[in-house]
Structure 1
């Protein structure tokens, strides 16, 4: 892990920063260090070196916040501040986050821990933090004005509470929420079970779903947008900038995610069925867990699923809303599929050399094109793998299952080497017979009657008069 503060790694570090202005608590004049992280790559899990044992989580394109022990209290320090985040190579955004990144670092602790979290505000306006899903004293819940004063710019507040249940949670502001969350202020909070054997897995991944509307050439999100987002992100990254989930063959794997966008997301993983194991409401009883290959997560919800990685390969994982696997997508583009633009293209090329018409045969051609783009934006679909363009963007990544990985090896192993005879291939045999087609209006076969019939109206004969015996009025609801 690369952290800017030397000596503050693990659970036993005792480095103390200079005294800060801690609101109302002179006893806490010495606050813990506030480590920062500038890298956008997945950092190795922060394995505990003292205290209860647990399997630490790997934050996708993120990291876990180190802490110090101060008596019975596990102390963390979050700094709310403007940050610069690379969404994917070629595009950066000016966001708000915590400790150098958006989303902020993951907080990990154990059921029963007493946590003290120092929050320093380096934003140009007031803020708070709400601990989403946690049971705690009402005055620590973080709703500005309701449960606590807002944290003014330049001030540090302290949150103290005991973790009463294990599970999957998150944190985010409840102060000027529309702006601050739209600017990227959020983070993950994992509480591990007190019993190290309870629902334990070999690899545990976490990430948050968030979204931005960033116009090409600009860097700051449009915070007033409600529905028309063009950057659908996992941990403020879009494909191909999203790291893969690297797991060893036969590892038991858990993937946890929370949704802080403005719509729901059906997350689908290829190659496996999985069991839904946890929500922000708590653990799902194993007897009640159900098998899925896609799980929907609504706004403000957390979901987790488990599977055993017994199928080698590079397995796609993505949101199944098709527009959410695209980057910088303009939703007001007209549909030209089936429209020939050859003659028009020739005329336009005379006054605009290099002009290329697009969309007549679908948009897949964009995946292999490397065209000039406006400053600080991304292609709508991009990314290459061993067989060519992937034609994806946004909320898309790959679960890479490999044999022989070391326990803490999360490095990208490259593309999967397929065994001989296991890749789909082009058929080059004798010409195939025409496939049978359903008879219908456009099939070239005799047409069937596709018209909707209203049983309340009489059937008419060739002369336009009602046929004898036909009903001429009335209808039944039964």
Structure 2
């Protein structure tokens, strides 16, 4: 891309340009490139190259690609680490840390062999540093504060310079107070395209990062000391139904890349297709060694890429197959009431907790269609509706929308799929079916439970020798 055009970017979906004033290092006299920012949580169009080798740019779910300027032989980018506000989904915003107005930060795109110069300005209240996860580069540019470089103090700008030695799928994230800064949302995608435009070419290339937060109901700031009990499982700091769909033209060759910066692994499953795993954070899988899957697991700190030809139109689910990761705002201490009759207990509870609603006795699916009062800035556990009713999902869930006849650069949501007549599952209204053969269930010795409110003053007296407090 040539020098940044202020006119072009100010009009592009919420992008704005903001300069920085402080710089360290030998490039001080050259001045800083401007630092585009964006606060919207909507997917921006791909940023096509206007000079240098051709490539198919990526599209970031609920995100965008960072513009750059060409300064001699160097491709220059400017990242600003700063506090941000991110809308996780309609109805909830989080106060996070990120880059250039968003969490995750903007995607960086380059080409194998590019000389990149990345300015990092620190507007956080503490030191930071940036590690270029998976890149092969000089040790002093690796971004580990205290080990390979001084930490970047608040208000200062540091410069990273290296050559993109290989194409592939990479990330960036802090290596300075890493536990806090990553828990607050600091991370971003880094894609390096092959030098040969025909190598590994696809028609559409989607990227997103997997991250997670623990934000209590009604609050805004993540609990940074949480290790396992997260309650918001995100793609690019968004949860369903706020995650963008992956819009695909029928017949396109499609690549999906994702990286995992949560505290656990995620088996990503896509419906309707089998695909080939073609890339890891270590590089491309040789074409003859790519393996077929319908789910691919990604461990902590890993990247994966898979490819498929979009030959089957429809609205195909894509999600983490850990079922709790497709839920929002989960309470880990919620009791299980399946099989419990709450009819007698509910009126007693309502006397002390007006508005109480007994739920869960027949499963949790009813929560998908009920709109219960919630604290401000809190998401329901299940939310999102499609053409046939509540989807009963949240968290790490989206839809691959395959449609014929889209333009090559059309990523707009096409709405719900119009199924050909006779191709949707339907209710049987014919003659009554015979009872299927089944094995007799074992007798557990316990009937369905019935919760009852018991006045402790009227508790039955136990027989002699019994323990009345047990």
TM-score by length of structure 2 reads 0.90
Question: Which residue of structure 2 aligns with residue 39 of structure 1?
Answer: 40
Q: Describe the shift of the 1:181–1:5 C-alpha distance in structure 2 as closer, same or farther (beyond 3 A).
A: farther
Question: Which residue of structure 1 aligns with residue 268 of structure 2?
Answer: 267
Question: Which residue of structure 2 aligns with residue 56 of structure 1?
Answer: 57
Question: Which residue of structure 2 aligns with residue 286 of structure 1?
Answer: 287
Structure 2 CA distance for aligned equivalents of residues 351 and 164 of structure 1: 66
Q: Describe the shift of the 1:16–1:403 C-alpha distance in structure 2 as closer, same or farther (beyond 3 A).
A: closer
Are 2:360 and 1:359 equivalent residues in the alignment? Answer: yes
Contact 2:6-2:17 at 8 Å conserved across structures: no
Contact 1:382-1:393 at 8 Å conserved across structures: yes
Structure 1 CA distance for aligned equivalents of residues 406 and 7 of structure 2: 29
Question: Which residue of structure 2 aligns with residue 412 of structure 1?
Answer: 413
Q: Deviations over 1:229-279 (max 9, x none)?
A: 000000000000001000000100000000000000000000000000101
Q: Deviations over 1:205-245 (max 9, x none)?
A: 00000000000111000000000000000000000000100
Structure 1 CA distance for aligned equivalents of residues 443 and 113 of structure 2: 67
Question: Which residue of structure 1 aligns with residue 152 of structure 2?
Answer: 151
Structure 2 CA distance for aligned equivalents of residues 5 and 378 of structure 1: 37
Structure 2 CA distance for aligned equivalents of residues 62 and 305 of structure 1: 20
> Which structure 1 residue ranges, 5 or more long, are not aligned?
10-14, 444-478
Structure 1 CA distance for aligned equivalents of residues 147 and 387 of structure 2: 54
1:190-205 maps to which residues of 2 (within 5 A)? 190-205=191-206
Contact 2:18-2:37 at 8 Å conserved across structures: no
Question: Which residue of structure 2 aligns with residue 450 of structure 1?
Answer: none
Q: Deviations over 1:297-330 (max 9, x none)?
A: 0000000000000000000000000110000000
1:52 is paired with a residue of what secondary structure?
coil
Structure 2 CA distance for aligned equivalents of residues 316 and 53 of structure 1: 32
1:201 is paired with a residue of what secondary structure?
coil
Structure 2 CA distance for aligned equivalents of residues 435 and 107 of structure 1: 58
2:350 is paired with a residue of what secondary structure?
helix
Structure 1 CA distance for aligned equivalents of residues 54 and 359 of structure 2: 56
Question: Which residue of structure 2 aligns with residue 313 of structure 1?
Answer: 314
1:147-186 maps to which residues of 2 (within 5 A)? 147-186=148-187
Contact 2:168-2:281 at 8 Å conserved across structures: yes
Aligned CA-pair RMSD = 1.9
1:349 is paired with a residue of what secondary structure?
helix
Question: Which residue of structure 1 aligns with residue 22 of structure 2?
Answer: 21
Question: Which residue of structure 2 aligns with residue 68 of structure 1?
Answer: 69
Structure 2 CA distance for aligned equivalents of residues 345 and 16 of structure 1: 56
Structure 1 CA distance for aligned equivalents of residues 46 and 229 of structure 2: 35
Contact 1:337-1:360 at 8 Å conserved across structures: yes
Question: Which residue of structure 2 aligns with residue 237 of structure 1?
Answer: 238
Contact 2:20-2:121 at 8 Å conserved across structures: no
Question: Which residue of structure 2 aligns with residue 79 of structure 1?
Answer: 80
Structure 2 CA distance for aligned equivalents of residues 439 and 353 of structure 1: 43
2:182 is paired with a residue of what secondary structure?
helix
Structure 2 CA distance for aligned equivalents of residues 16 and 58 of structure 1: 21
Structure 2 CA distance for aligned equivalents of residues 100 and 119 of structure 1: 14
Structure whose CA Rg is larger: 1
Contact 1:168-1:190 at 8 Å conserved across structures: yes
Structure 2 CA distance for aligned equivalents of residues 63 and 221 of structure 1: 24
Contact 2:89-2:242 at 8 Å conserved across structures: yes
Contact 1:140-1:159 at 8 Å conserved across structures: yes
Q: Deviations over 1:363-392 (max 9, x none)?
A: 000000011101111000010000000000
Q: How many residues align?
A: 437
Structure 2 CA distance for aligned equivalents of residues 145 and 162 of structure 1: 23
Question: Which residue of structure 2 aligns with residue 113 of structure 1?
Answer: 114
TM-score by length of structure 1 reads 0.89
> Which structure 2 residue ranges, 5 or more long, are not aligned?
11-15, 445-470
Contact 1:4-1:37 at 8 Å conserved across structures: no
Structure 2 CA distance for aligned equivalents of residues 81 and 18 of structure 1: 14
Q: Deviations over 1:399-428 (max 9, x none)?
A: 000011000000000000000000000001
1:89-108 maps to which residues of 2 (within 5 A)? 89-108=90-109
